[in-house]
Amino acid sequence: KLSARLTAVAEFVEQGAILADIGSDHAYLPCYLVSNGKVKKAIAGEVVKGPYESAKRNVAKKGLSEKIEVRLANGLAAIKSTDEIDTVTIAGMGGPLIASILDAGSTELASVKKIITQPNIHASSIREWAVNNEWKVVGEQILEEDNKIYEIIVLERGTATYDELQMLVGPILMVDKSTVFIDKWNRESSEWQRIADSLEQAGNSEDVTNKKQELKKKIELIRRV
């Protein structure tokens, strides 16, 4: 059974999509989407040999080798222009790593209409990448599984601007204000407060003062939601 996290990612994929799942590990997501007929064909990209082999084994075991091609490649280099990929998923990595993968692949994204990301931390890096590269946030979700909170950010082409608060917490999530969302930012905010308090003993060098100011500003920002 697919995790709640990857099931939520799968729900954002449109019927009939041609998918590239980057950093696919066991290829669970493309296997699920091809098996249930939502995706016509898929590429599973992996940069590390071990996960690449396990993805290949898993796809073969499920009898899906006709429809899922597993490729050993770094990031979006797994995509060829003849693949006509329209949807890219990148899940289970940090936001900055996902943003750097997207950054390195503007030519591979030529045919892509939808990018679905699931950053484990620093989701704001993805929103920043989007506004700087003419993509906009069209969907967001937040969920909790096994005591961990996960965010999903869905991008389509277009221009958008977000203020500081929208960048940090998500333009859609902050409107939805789900209990998981409130829980996440309460936790983050207490953590910042704890760091700010511990800095009270750290003297008043320029670095410490700047850090304290930055934390205070973030705590104030969060208070506004």
Applying CB under 6 A, the residues found at the interface with ligand SAM are 6, 22-25, 45-48, 51, 74-75, 91-93, 101
Closest to ligand SAM by CB, 46 or 69: 46
The DSSP annotation for 175-224 comes to: HH--HHHHHHHHHHHHHHHHHHHHHTTS---HHHHHHHHHHHHHHHHHHT
Closest to ligand SAM by CB, 7 or 189: 7
Closest to ligand SAM by CB, 116 or 167: 116
Closest to ligand SAM by CB, 92 or 95: 92
CB of 13 to ligand SAM, least distance (A): 14
CB 182 within 8 Å of CB 42:
no
CB of 51 to ligand SAM, least distance (A): 4
CB of 65 to ligand SAM, least distance (A): 19
Of 129, 172, 130, residue with least CA distance to 151: 172
